[in-house]
Amino acid sequence: MDEELKIRLRGEGIKPGLIRSREIAEILESVEEMAIAEALKHNPELSKEDIIVGFYAIEDESIGLKFKTTFAAAVVSAFVIAAEAVERGDFESLTPQSLNSLKVVSSFSKRHSCDAIIGSGSNKEVTIISPNTVIPSPTYIYGQTEILGKVIRVGGKTPKAMIELMDGSTLYCEVPEDIAKELGHKLYSLAKFEGTAKWESKTLELDEFKIHTVKEFPNIDPTKVLGELSDMVGDAFFGIKDVSAFVTDLRNGGGDE
């Protein structure tokens, strides 16, 4: 089974010890993000938190970087499919995260006048990103919205909040420091968050969310709510036997022509 991801940086002056560690770290992170994004697209049953794409070897032939991963069958396959799409120039099929990752690799290629060869254990050269390769930028939609969820974690030097949405998925949100302090007292509580959102233009999936305000969401027993509605309505609808006919009559203006 194909269990490795590979990227080789090939060009004059491209050798371990001659390239800044920060630049290599950016390449490592980009490969990981691309592999995970494509794996989740093809295997939505997987969880981002469970996928690990770990760098484990560097080769002194130019610079060869090797990665191993959990869920290798799914992750490596999705990564190779994405690389094949790059080879065809089919960037529309890639996730925005993959496009951003490829732009990092492309920038390195242009900066150092080298090739970045992307492949796997069994296929060492699926596609090549050269200084002439043009990677399009992903497109997004921005707007104001609100979300409902639970605060799972909050903190950091630049505060971020981990919100569990109603469908069980999680979202990491930027949050002002004063609101981060407030959220620290609302862990595991259901709340309504208002702020600025960024959606992927192709899938309309929520990509980023910056919290502006937070409001408590009352967790009221449904039976209590129904009881209160019953008290408000009273016996106004008592005696109605045919609900469908009653609603149709209302829609027709109470039956008057």
Q: How much is the CA Rg of the chain, to the nearest whole Å?
A: 26
Global model pTM greater than 0.75: no
Residue type, 100: N
- Residue 240, both tokens: 């109605």
Single out the residue of 209, 223, 188, 236 nearest to residue 145, CA to CA: 209
Residue 69, φ and ψ in degrees, nearest 5:
-145, 155
pLDDT at 257: 44
- List Cα–Cα distances, 24 to 17, 108, 183, 196, 218, in angstroms: 11, 9, 36, 33, 49
Q: Report d(CA 69, CA 29) in Å as an integer.
A: 13
The pLDDT tens digits of the residues spanning 21-79 come to: 999 999 999 999 999 999 999 998 998 889 999 999 988 778 999 999 999 999 999 99
Q: Report d(CA 105, CA 115) in Å as an integer.
A: 9
The pLDDT tens digits of the residues spanning 85-106 come to: 999 999 999 999 999 999 999 9
